[in-house]
Amino acid sequence: MLKKITIATRKSPLALWQAEYVASLLKSKNHGIEISFKKIVTDGDKIIDKPLYEVGGKGLFLKQLEEALLSKEADIAVHSMKDIPAQLHSELTISAILRREDARDVFVSNKMNSINEIQPGNKIGSSSIRRICLLNDFCQNIKISELRGNIHTRLEKLEQKNMDGIILAAAGLKRLKLESKIKEYLDYTKWIPAIGQGAIGIEMKKDSSIKSYIENLNHKETSICINTERMISKFFNASCETPLGAYAHLENKNIKIFGMAANPQTKILKKESIEGELKNSKELSIRLAEKLATIL
């Protein structure tokens, strides 16, 4: 019987919420289990004055957590799936992906009620290369303002830096009960989310003795959709520097996938979608990626 488990997590409010949520699920399925947390400040948390794509990408949020797994200081690590790169360490695996929260991007502003009110010259906050490319495609000659830090920090910067608006993920705001800050949910067919956005993943060593307990938390439909999106990421060997987005959802026995890619040098942005039988999800994701690759 599973008696004790140590969860590696970042210290940000959202990361702690996610870790505690995983702990609650484990406790609900394994009565009497003892949960402890190994709270880690990652390199991604320390470097907040530069965009991630300039300093090593989202892998900066994983490195120290993965080291804790490899050294057996922790049994599992809890991540936002959108932070997980296309390729994992050879000894590690994602054993469970939890039911997805809202995957959409949202517009937050103290001055506007809709992203459609943005005009040339407005200052919009984002550090995501994907969001920056989408913003520049949506409205030329806007000013992009650097926006790093946890959700509360970003909301503070909105006011402190007199920004006209910022783009955030709906899931994080909902989980931290900050939904009231949202002015507009952005249509995922136009503002295509980051791959894996809105989903929580549980990482562990492949040979872990508690693997079966973690796999028991996996949400099948979410896992199918996220892994389909990640096939596109793997096709491009994507990093934080790759302006890439994808969103997959199931419709009965079919799967529909939306994707976007951008070329910052040529300023070209391309959006594509594809639909087909669920059993062909891998083939569909590759076909979509091939369409997107024509601009890169």
Exposure of 233 by Cβ count < 10 A (0-12 exposed, 13-18 middle, 19+ buried)? buried
- pLDDT of the residue at 246: 97
DSSP state of 93: E
Amino acid in position 49: D
With cut-offs at 50, 70 and 90, classify the pLDDT of residue 52. low
- pLDDT of the residue at 54: 52
Higher pLDDT, 1 or 141: 141
- Is the distance from CB of 69 to CB of 202 less than 8 angstroms? no
Beta pairing, strands 184-185 & 105-108: antiparallel
**Residue range 2-10: mean pLDDT, rounded:** 92
With cut-offs at 50, 70 and 90, classify the pLDDT of residue 45. low
75: Cβ–Cβ under 8 A, 6 or more apart, which residues?
Answer: 5, 6, 7, 69, 204, 208, 210
For the stretch 139-156, pLDDT in tens is: 989 999 989 889 999 999
- pLDDT of the residue at 85: 87
For the stretch 162-171, pLDDT in tens is: 999 999 999 9
Among candidate residues 37, 46, 45, the one with its CA nearest the CA of residue 17: 37
Amino acid in position 147: L
Q: What percent of the chain shows pLDDT beyond 70?
A: 93
Q: Give the catalytic positions in this structure.
A: 83
- Is the distance from CB of 48 to CB of 30 less than 8 angstroms? no
Tell me how far CA of residue 170 lies from CA of 4, 165, 285, in angstroms: 33, 15, 24
- pLDDT of the residue at 215: 96
- Sheet (strand 34-40) strand order: 34-40, 4-10, 76-80, 200-205, 92-97
With cut-offs at 50, 70 and 90, classify the pLDDT of residue 240. low
**Residue range 244-261: mean pLDDT, rounded:** 96
For the stretch 56-104, pLDDT in tens is: 555 667 888 999 999 999 999 999 999 898 889 999 999 999 999 999 9
- pLDDT of the residue at 63: 85
What are 276's two structure tokens? Answer: 């087909």
For the stretch 108-139, pLDDT in tens is: 999 999 999 999 999 999 989 999 999 999 99
Mean pLDDT, the chain, rounded, equals: 92
- Is the distance from CB of 171 to CB of 106 less than 8 angstroms? no
For the stretch 219-229, pLDDT in tens is: 999 999 999 99
